[in-house]
C-alpha cells in the first residue's frame, strides 16, 4: 500500500484513517467515510483499484468536478476516465466496460441509465468498488439533496458483492443513516474523522455595504492577486457577484465570474481558467461550490452571510485543501439576516422549513460570535472541541475590546420587557431610538420612559448589543416559522432586578466590529491579513529560496501549459516548496521529495532538474540542501513493532502520544471521538501498547503520570511485601494519592526489564527524545534485550545506587534514561563478501517489508564500496524501483 501511495501519489505516508479505510474496502466491506474537506477522502477510493488491479466506479455530482479529477489522476499515471454526455471520446464507454480504467467517474444520472449489460461486463472485467462521493446528496436532510442520488441503491442489485463506500464532509447522524439505508449498506465500517481544518484561519467582519467598504475589499483582494494566491469571493446574489466583479475589473484585477445565470459554456470556461491559474480571483455565487477540486486556494471570502452553517463549512472548506495555511473571511451585513423567508421557500415540508431556518440562524450566530469560531463550528457539527482558544480565528487572536455596557443593556432589556416581549428586535430598538411610527403610537410605546433614550446609537448597534445579550442568555430568541421574537430570560430578569434607573451593576461585553462603527481606515481583513499570511506561506524559506519558489511556480506553469493541464495537477505547492528548500540535483533526490510521484519524475523530472540547476546558479543557492536526508545515521536493522495485536483505538492512542506528542488529556478528548474517554483509559492503552512492543518515551511517560524515583522505591517496597499478582493490595498499602496508573507502570517497567545500565556499555541513551519518534528507540541492544529476572535486579541496583548518572531518575526524582526495547526483526543473513548490484540490492530488500538503512546495506554488501552502493541506490530510487521512508530503503 505504501509503495502504491509513493508511486502514484508521491506521498510518503497515509493520513489518519486512510490506510484503515483502504484495508476495509479491500476486504470487501461497505464503508461510510465522514471526514473534513481536504482531509484526503478521495485517496481512500483511488488506492484500492491500483492494488486490486480492478476498476473503481466513482459517482460524482458534477461533470466539471469529474473532469478535473480525471485530469489530475492522468498526471499521476493513473488510467482514469469519466462517462457523461460531455464525454467526446467515443471509445470511453467500451473501454470502461472492458475494465481499461483504474478509476471510472460518472454522474448519478449516468449510473442509473447505464444498461445492466454494461454492469455485467464490468463485473466480468473486474470492479472492486463503487464509491459515492458527496454522499450527503442522497439525503433530504442534507443541504444539497439530489433526487438522482436516491436511485443509486438500485445498483446493489446489479453489483452484488461489490463493496460500496459513501464519502462526505458533512453529515449529521440523520444523514448518515439515510446514506447507509439508501445505499443498502450491510454492516458498514464507519469512519468519522475530525471536522477541524487546522490550517484555516476563520474571521468575520461587519460590512455596511457602502462603496467605501467595497473599495477596501477590492484593495485587499488586489493584494491577494499580487501574491498570486487563488481566491474565491462568494456572494449571496448574482447582483452582488456582478458588482464586485465589475469593481475588480475597474481596478485592473483580472478576475473571473461564475453564477447560475451564465450559460453553461461561459461557466465552464470561467471554471477552467481559474483552475489553470489564468486568473487568481473568482467571484461566484454558491453555484461554484462542490465542484472545485483546486487544492491551492488560499483565501475564501464570503460577501454576505451564507444560508447555512453547513454550506459555509463546505464553501470555506474549498480553502487550503493542500494543508497550507489559508484564510476564510466572512463579511456580513445585517440585511443578510432578513433572507430567511427566501431560503425557506425552497422547503417542501414543515420539517425541512424548520431545518433550513435552524441552520440559517446558526450561520447568523456565527457572524455575531465573540468567542472562538472554530469551537462554535465544530460543536455545531457535534464534535467536542477541548479548547477555549484555537489561536487561529479572529476572536482568539485579536485583543477583545470589552467595555462596560451595563446602562445600554439595562435600557434595551427594560424596553424589550416593557414592550411585552413578543416582538422581534426592530420594534423595541425603534422605541429606544424615538421612532413615532404608527405601530408605536397605536401601542402607546411612545409613552414608555425609554422612548428616545437610545437615539444617539444606530439601530444596528442596538441589534448587535442584543445579539451579545442573546449569546449570553440574558435575552431569549424564539422562532415562529421564519419570524423571531425576543424576550428577557431569567438571567436578564435577575440583572434588571439589580438595576435602578440611576445605577446598574457592571456588565462587560465585547464589541463586535458592527458596534465599533465606522469601517473606514480599518484593515478589513483583520489583523492576520494578507501580509500576515505571507510569512506563513514562505515559512522556512529564506529570501532567495522564496524567490526560487516563485520561479518554480513559473516553471510549473510552463509545464502545465505545454501539457494542457492545470498547474496543481503537475505538482502541489507544498511539493514545490520542498523542492525550493532542497534543490535536488539528481533524479533520486527529486524522487525522494514528498509529493513527487513516478509519472511526474519520468515525464518532467529531467526538465525540472535542469531548471533547478539553472535557477540555483542564478540565485547563488547551493544544490542539494538538507544533507541529513542523504546521509542517514548508521543503525541496526529493525522493524516497526508488531502492533497487530493492538486494537486500532489503542494503537491510535499510542501513535498520538508517542508520535504526535499529544497529552493524555488531548488524546482522551480528541475531537472526532464519538465521546471523550478517560485519561486513565489512555494511560492503560499506552501501557498495553508498550507491552505489545510499541516504543515508549519512558522519561516523558513517567513524568506525565508523576512516577518519581521516590514513588518507584515506595511501590517496590510494597510489592516486595504483598507481591505483584493483585493491584488492590499494593494500592491499599500505599498512600491514597498513589494511582493505579503509577502502580501499573512500575510493574510493566519491571516486567519489561527497562534498564539502561543492563545493556551494553557502548549505548547510552540518556538524553530525552521528544515529539516525533526516534527510530533508534526501536533498536535492539547488542545484548539481545533484557530478561525479566535480570531487570528486576537491575532496577533494584539502580534505585539503590549512589551513582546519579546510572539512575533512571535524575536528582529531582524524575526519570532520566530511555528504555531500549527488544523488537524482533527478520533474521538477516550476513556475509562479509557480498557485492552490490542493482539486482542484488533489490533481491535483498525483498526480505525487509519495513525497509533498511544505508548502514545496514553497507554492512551487508561489504564487498562493495560505500560510494558504489550509494550510486546504485540513487539509480534505483531515480527509477522508482525503491523508495525511502524515514531514511529506510524499501522496495517499490
Ligand X SMILES: Nc1ncnc2c1ncn2[C@@H]1O[C@H](COP(=O)(O)OP(=O)(O)OP(=O)(O)O)[C@@H](O)[C@H]1O
Q: Where are the beta strands (DSSP E) in 53-121?
A: 55-59, 80-83, 103-106
Does 41 contact ligand X by CB under 6 A? yes
By CB under 6 A, tell whether 74 contacts ligand X.
no
311 near ligand X, rule: CB under 6 A: no
Closer to ligand X by Cβ: residue 14 or 746? 14
Residue 578 or 820: which CB sits closer to ligand X?
578
SS3 content of the chain, % helix, strand, coil (to 5): 50, 10, 40
Total residues contacting ligand X by CB under 6 A comes to 18
When binding is defined by CB under 6 A, the residue of 7, 31, 37, 87 that contacts ligand X is 37
Alpha carbons 486 and 467: distance in angstroms, whole number: 10
15 is an interface residue for ligand X by CB under 6 A: yes
**Binding of ligand X by 39 (CB under 6 A):** yes
Report the alpha-carbon distance of residue 614 to residue 706 in Å, rounded.
Answer: 56
| Residue 310 contacts residue 139 (beta carbons within 8 Å) | no
Asked if residue 519 lies in contact with residue 207, where contact means CB atoms within 8 angstroms, the answer is yes
The position carrying cell 518507584 is 712
Q: Which is nearer to ligand X, 317 or 785 (CB)?
A: 317
Nearest residue to 328 (alpha-carbon basis) of 152, 198, 186: 198
* CB 202 to ligand X: min, Å: 17
**Nine-digit cell string for 234:** 462568494
Nearby residues of 418 by Cβ (< 8 Å), 6 or more positions away: 445, 448, 450
The reply to whether 142 sits near ligand X by the rule CB under 6 A is no
Q: How far apart are the first and last CA of the chain?
A: 10
Nearer to ligand X, 50 or 705 (CB): 50
Tell me how far, at minimum, the Cβ of 108 lies from ligand X, in Å: 17
Q: Which is nearer to ligand X, 135 or 413 (CB)?
A: 135
322 binds ligand X (CB under 6 A): yes
233 CB contacts (<8 Å, ≥6 apart)? 221, 241, 244, 281, 282, 283, 284, 301, 303
Based on the shown chain and the rule CB under 6 A, indicate whether residue 40 belongs to the binding site for ligand X: yes
Positions in 271-310 near ligand X (CB under 6 A):
295
What are the CA-CA distances from residue 692 to residues 383, 640, 685, 725, 746 (Å)? 31, 11, 10, 20, 16
- Dihedral over Cα of 236, 239, 243, 249: its sign: positive
Instruction: With residue 724 as reference, give the H or E element that holds it.
Output: none
- Please check whether residue 840 is in contact with residue 861, taking contact to mean a CB–CB distance below 8 angstroms: yes
Residues 6+ apart with CB under 8 A from 218: 244, 247, 248, 251, 253
Q: Quick one: which of 61, 317, 671, 695 contacts ligand X (CB under 6 A)?
A: 317
321 makes contact with ligand X (CB under 6 A): yes
Stretch that binds ligand X, among 317-325, 361-369, 446-454, 872-880 (CB under 6 A): 317-325
Question: Which C-beta is closer to ligand X: that of 21 or that of 111?
Answer: 21
Choice between 75 and 699, CB closer to ligand X = 75
Q: Which is nearer to ligand X, 549 or 685 (CB)?
A: 549
Site string for ligand X, 552-581 (x = CB under 6 A): --------------------x---------
Site for ligand X in 674-713 (CB under 6 A): none
Q: Which of 22, 25, 32, 43 binds ligand X (CB under 6 A)?
A: 43
* DSSP helix/strand/coil, 106: strand
Q: Among 35-43, 98-106, 385-393, 726-734, which window interacts with ligand X (CB under 6 A)?
A: 35-43
Report residue 766 as a C-alpha cell: 540518556
Residues 147-206 that bind ligand X (CB under 6 A): 169
Rg of the Cα trace of the chain? Answer: 31
Each residue 740-779 as x (binds ligand X by CB under 6 A) or -, in order, gives: ----------------------------------------
**Cα-based distances in Å from 6 to 14, 76, 565, 845, 890:** 10, 11, 22, 17, 11
Q: Name the nearest CA neighbour of 465 among 497, 502, 507, 525.
A: 507
Q: Which is nearer to ligand X, 295 or 492 (CB)?
A: 295
Nine-digit cell string for 240: 452582488
Nearest distance from residue 46's CB to ligand X, in Å?
8
Nearest alpha carbon to residue 230 among 112, 320, 343? 320
428 sits near ligand X (criterion: CB under 6 A): no
Between 296 and 791, name the residue whose CB sits nearer to ligand X: 296
What is the closest distance, in whole angstroms, from the C-beta atom of residue 289 to ligand X in the complex? 11
Please pick, from the candidates 11, 82, 549, 685, the single residue that binds ligand X as defined by CB under 6 A: 11
Nearer of residues 524 and 593 to ligand X, judged by Cβ: 593
Question: Smaller CB distance to ligand X: residue 54 or 321?
Answer: 321
Nearer to ligand X, 295 or 632 (CB): 295
Binder among 31, 38, 312, 632 for ligand X (CB under 6 A): 38
**Cβ-count burial of 237 within 10 angstroms (0-12 exposed, 13-18 middle, 19+ buried)?**
middle
Interface segment toward ligand X; rule CB under 6 A; list 114-122, 316-324, 664-672, 835-843: 316-324
Binding span for ligand X by CB under 6 A among 30-38, 488-496, 639-647, 841-849: 30-38
C-beta closer to ligand X: residue 71 or 405? 71
Angle between helices 740-752 and 698-705 (to 10 degrees): 160
List 2, 6, 14, 49, residue binding ligand X (CB under 6 A):
14
C-alpha 284/C-alpha 274 separation (Å) is 11
Q: Which of 22, 14, 9 is nearest to 131 (CA)?
A: 22
Contact residues: ligand X, CB under 6 A:
11, 14-15, 18, 35, 37-43, 169, 295, 317, 321-322, 572
Amino acid at each position: 500500500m505504501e509503495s502504491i501511495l509513493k508511486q502514484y501519489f508521491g506521498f510518503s505516508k497515509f493520513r489518519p484513517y486512510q490506510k484503515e479505510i483502504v484495508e476495509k474496502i479491500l476486504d470487501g466491506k461497505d464503508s461510510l467515510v465522514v471526514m473534513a474537506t481536504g482531509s484526503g477522502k478521495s485517496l481512500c477510493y483511488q488506492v484500492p483499484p491500483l492494488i486490486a488491479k480492478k476498476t473503481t466506479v466513482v459517482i460524482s455530482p458534477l461533470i466539471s468536478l469529474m473532469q478535473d479529477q480525471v485530469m489530475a489522476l492522468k498526471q499521476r499515471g493513473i488510467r482514469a476516465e469519466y462517462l457523461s454526455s460531455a464525454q467526446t471520446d467515443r471509445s470511453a464507454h467500451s473501454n470502461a466496460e472492458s475494465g481499461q480504467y483504474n478509476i471510472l467517474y460518472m454522474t448519478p444520472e449516468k449510473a442509473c441509465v447505464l444498461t445492466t449489460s454494461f454492469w455485467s461486463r464490468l463485473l466480468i472485467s473486474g470492479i472492486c468498488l463503487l464509491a459515492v462521493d458527496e454522499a450527503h446528496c442522497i439525503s433530504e436532510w442534507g443541504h444539497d439533496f439530489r433526487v438522482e442520488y436516491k436511485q443509486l441503491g438500485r445498483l446493489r442489485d446489479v453489483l452484488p458483492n461489490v463493496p460500496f463506500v459513501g464519502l462526505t464532509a458533512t453529515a449529521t447522524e440523520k444523514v448518515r443513516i439515510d446514506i447507509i439505508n439508501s445505499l443498502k449498506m450491510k454492516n458498514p465500517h464507519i469512519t468519522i474523522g475530525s471536522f477541524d481544518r487546522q490550517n484555516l484561519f476563520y474571521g468575520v467582519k461587519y460590512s455596511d455595504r457602502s462603496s467605501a467598504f467595497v473599495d477596501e475589499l477590492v484593495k485587499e483582494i488586489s493584494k491577494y492577486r499580487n501574491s498570486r494566491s487563488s481566491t474565491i469571493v462568494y456572494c449571496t446574489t448574482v447582483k452582488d457577484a456582478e458588482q464586485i466583479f465589475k469593481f475588480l475589473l475597474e481596478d485592473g484585477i483580472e478576475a473571473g465570474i461564475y453564477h447560475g445565470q451564465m450559460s453553461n459554456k461561459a461557466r465552464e470556461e470561467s471554471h477552467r481558467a481559474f483552475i489553470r491559474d489564468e486568473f487568481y480571483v473568482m467571484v461566484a455565487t454558491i453555484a461554484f461550490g462542490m465542484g472545485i477540486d483546486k487544492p491551492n486556494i488560499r483565501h475564501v471570502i464570503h460577501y454576505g452571510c451564507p444560508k447555512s452553517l453547513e454550506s459555509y463549512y463546505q464553501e470555506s472548506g474549498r480553502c487550503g485543501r493542500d494543508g497550507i495555511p489559508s484564510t476564510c473571511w466572512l463579511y456580513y451585513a445585517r440585511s443578510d439576516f432578513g433572507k430567511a423567508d427566501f431560503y425557506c421557500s425552497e422547503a417542501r415540508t414543515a420539517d425541512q422549513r424548520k431545518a433550513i431556518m435552524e441552520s440559517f440562524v446558526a450561520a447568523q450566530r456565527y457572524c455575531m460570535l465573540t468567542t472562538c469560531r472554530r469551537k462554535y463550528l465544530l460543536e455545531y457539527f457535534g464534535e467536542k472541541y477541548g479548547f477555549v482558544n484555537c489561536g487561529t480565528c479572529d476572536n482568539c487572536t485579536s485583543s477583545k475590546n470589552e467595555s462596560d455596557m451595563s446602562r445600554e443593556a439595562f435600557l434595551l432589556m427594560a424596553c424589550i420587557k416593557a414592550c411585552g416581549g413578543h416582538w422581534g428586535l426592530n420594534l423595541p430598538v425603534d422605541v429606544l431610538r424615538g421612532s413615532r411610527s404608527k405601530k408605536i403610537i397605536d401601542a402607546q410605546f411612545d409613552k414608555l420612559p425609554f422612548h428616545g433614550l437610545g437615539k444617539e446609537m444606530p439601530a444596528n448597534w442596538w441589534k448587535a448589543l442584543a445579539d451579545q445579550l442573546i449569546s449570553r442568555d440574558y435575552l431569549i430568541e424564539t422562532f415562529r416559522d421564519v419570524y423571531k421574537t425576543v424576550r428577557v430570560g431569567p438571567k436578564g430578569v435577575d440583572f434588571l432586578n439589580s438595576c435602578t434607573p440611576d445605577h446598574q451593576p457592571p456588565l462587560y461585553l465585547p464589541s463586535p466590529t458592527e458596534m465599533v462603527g465606522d469601517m473606514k481606515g480599518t484593515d478589513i481583513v483583520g489583523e492576520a491579513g494578507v501580509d500576515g499570511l505571507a510569512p506563513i506561506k514562505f515559512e522556512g524559506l529564506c529570501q532567495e529560496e522564496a524567490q526560487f519558489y516563485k520561479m518554480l511556480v513559473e516553471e510549473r506553469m510552463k509545464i502545465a501549459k505545454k501539457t494542457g493541464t492545470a498547474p496543481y495537477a503537475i505538482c502541489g505547492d507544498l511539493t514545490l516548496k520542498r523542492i525550493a528548500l532542497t534543490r535536488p540535483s539528481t533524479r533520486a533526490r527529486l524522487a525522494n521529495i514528498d509529493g513527487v510521484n513516478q509519472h511526474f519524475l519520468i515525464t518532467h523530472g529531467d526538465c525540472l532538474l535542469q531548471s533547478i540547476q539553472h535557477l540555483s546558479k542564478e540565485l547563488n543557492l547551493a544544490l542539494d540542501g538538507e544533507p541529513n536526508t542523504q546521509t542517514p545515521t548508521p543503525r541496526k536493522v529493525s522493524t516497526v513493532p508488531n502492533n497487530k495485536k493492538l486494537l486500532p483505538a489503542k494503537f491510535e492512542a499510542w501513535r498520538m502520544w508517542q508520535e504526535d506528542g499529544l497529552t493524555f488529556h488531548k488524546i482522551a478528548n480528541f475531537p472526532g471521538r464519538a465521546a471523550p474517554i478517560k485519561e486513565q483509559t489512555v494511560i492503560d492503552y499506552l501501557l498495553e501498547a508498550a507491552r505489545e512492543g510499541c516504543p515508549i518515551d519512558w522519561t516523558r511517560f513517567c513524568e506525565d503520570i508523576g512516577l518519581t524515583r521516590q514513588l518507584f522505591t515506595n511501590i517496590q517496597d510494597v510489592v516486595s511485601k504483598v507481591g505483584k499478582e493483585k493491584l488492590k493490595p499494593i494500592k491499599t498499602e500505599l498512600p491514597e494519592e498513589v494511582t493505579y496508573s503509577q502502580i501499573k507502570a512500575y510493574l510493566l517497567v519491571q516486567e519489561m526489564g527497562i534498564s539502561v545500565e543492563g545493556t551494553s556499555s557502548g549505548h547510552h541513551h540518556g538524553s530525552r527524545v521528544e515529539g516525533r519518534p526516534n527510530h533508534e528507540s526501536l533498536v535492539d541492544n547488542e545484548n539481545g534485550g533484557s530478561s525479566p529476572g535480570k531487570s528486576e535486579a537491575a532496577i533494584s541496583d539502580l534505585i539503590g545506587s549512589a551513582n546519579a548518572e546510572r539512575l533512571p531518575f535524575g536528582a529531582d526524582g524524575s526519570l532520566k534514561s530511555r528504555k531500549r526495547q527488544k523488537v524482533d526483526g527478520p533474521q538477516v543473513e550476513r556475509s562479509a563478501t557480498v557485492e552490490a548490484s542493482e539486482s542484488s540490492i533489490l533481491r535483498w530488500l525483498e526480505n525487509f517489508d519495513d525497509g533498511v538503512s544505508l548502514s545496514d546495506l553497507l554492512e551487508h554488501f561489504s564487498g562493495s564500496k560505500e560510494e558504489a552502493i550509494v550510486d546504485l541506490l540513487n539509480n534505483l530510487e531515480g527509477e522508482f524501483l525503491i523508495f525511502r521512508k524515514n531514511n529506510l530503503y524499501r522496495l517499490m
